[in-house]
Amino acid sequence: MIGAGSLVGQQVAVVGKVSNQTGTSVELVSADDSPVRVELASEASLSSAFVEIVGTVRADGTVVEVRRAAFGDSFDMGTYKEFL
């Protein structure tokens, strides 16, 4: 879990489904069904339902984006979860 505290200041990669986006703030639902808050580097809209965000974890558990990759609209999170 990202908000657990031990990852603060660390760079992480999160794969998830976009559940909400407002400006530069996004909420993802990760493979383990946990909500993950992301602060995007720009207000550019995410182009697909499933994304990978690489970023740095802040003390409040928010991931500050460094880069992203679009995984499309039909990415199989169940299969991805099996590989974790």
Tens digits of residue pLDDT in 44-84:
888 899 999 999 999 999 999 999 999 999 999 999 989 88
Q: Which contacts (CB < 8 Å, 24+ apart) does range 37-43 have?
A: 37/61, 37/62, 37/63, 38/14, 38/62, 38/63, 38/64, 38/65, 39/63, 39/64, 39/65, 40/65, 40/68, 41/65, 41/66
Element (H, E) at 12: strand 11-22
pTM over 0.85: yes
